[in-house]
Amino acid sequence: MFKPFTLVALLFVGLSSAVFAETLKLSSQDIADGEFMSKAQEFNGFGCAGGDLSPQLTWSGVPEGTKSFAITAYDPDAPTGSGWWHWQIVNIPHTVTEIAAGAGSAKNDLAPEGSVQIANDFGYRGFGGACPPEGHGVHHYRFTVHALSVEKLELPKEASGALTGYMINANTIATSTIESLYKRD
């Protein structure tokens, strides 16, 4: 039987480790939570004329058991009935904690080795920037890093955004999101 002092000590140790445990935290030099993105993150096409540049992203506080990462960029405000996938990159090695600006472009070699970019809702693999319909108001772009419990997501070559999202969520240990804004008047 535990003595009252022992129970208090065990409770304190349990609480202190929970309080001091790191939490996954996403940050960026290019985008900020609740702030409007620049023209650099706007799509180039569909009537938009931006730089179509994926933002620089850094994360810290990686939880124990993380075996890989995925990054998603999603617009829930797109008038589609299902939102809009702007970017999904999976199988990022667990040793990577930063992705360079422009890593979402298939034209360069900035994505982490071994990672896989999924076709976005514009129809090609990689990052597709913000391009809400003119006059549709403010759209919220959720850039999320997912710490995953598996080294590699086994996906078909032409996996949809929905299937990829399902597999990411089924294997997520922790997430952190920056919700940036964009609108076209």
The answer to whether residue 12 scores a pLDDT higher than 50 is: no
Q: What is the CA radius of gyration of the chain?
A: 19
C-alpha 52/C-alpha 122 separation (Å) is: 12
Residue 58: phi, psi to the nearest 5?
-130, 145
C-alpha 36/C-alpha 87 separation (Å) is: 18
Q: What is the pLDDT of residue 14?
A: 44
Residue type at 52 in one-letter notation: D
- pTM of the predicted protein model: 0.88
The answer to whether residue 5 scores a pLDDT higher than 50 is: no
The answer to whether residue 32 scores a pLDDT higher than 80 is: yes
pLDDT in tens, 75-110: 999 999 999 999 999 999 999 999 999 999 988 889
Residue 169: phi, psi to the nearest 5?
-65, -35
For the segment 64-72, the average pLDDT, to the nearest whole number, is 98
For the segment 138-164, the average pLDDT, to the nearest whole number, is 97
Residue 31 near residue 41 (C-beta atoms within 8 A): yes
Structural domain spans, the chain: 22-182
C-alpha 104/C-alpha 20 separation (Å) is: 34
Q: What is the pLDDT of residue 168?
A: 98
C-alpha 152/C-alpha 165 separation (Å) is: 14
Fold of 22-182: Phosphatidylethanolamine-binding Protein (3.90.280)
Q: How many CB atoms lie within 10 A of CB 174?
A: 19
Residue 141 near residue 134 (C-beta atoms within 8 A): no
C-alpha 67/C-alpha 63 separation (Å) is: 10
Q: What is the pLDDT of residue 21?
A: 53
Q: Six-digit token pair at 91? A: 């199988």
- Tell me whether strands 57-60 and 25-27 are parallel, antiparallel or unpaired: antiparallel
How is residue 125 annotated by DSSP?
B
Residue 52 near residue 73 (C-beta atoms within 8 A): no
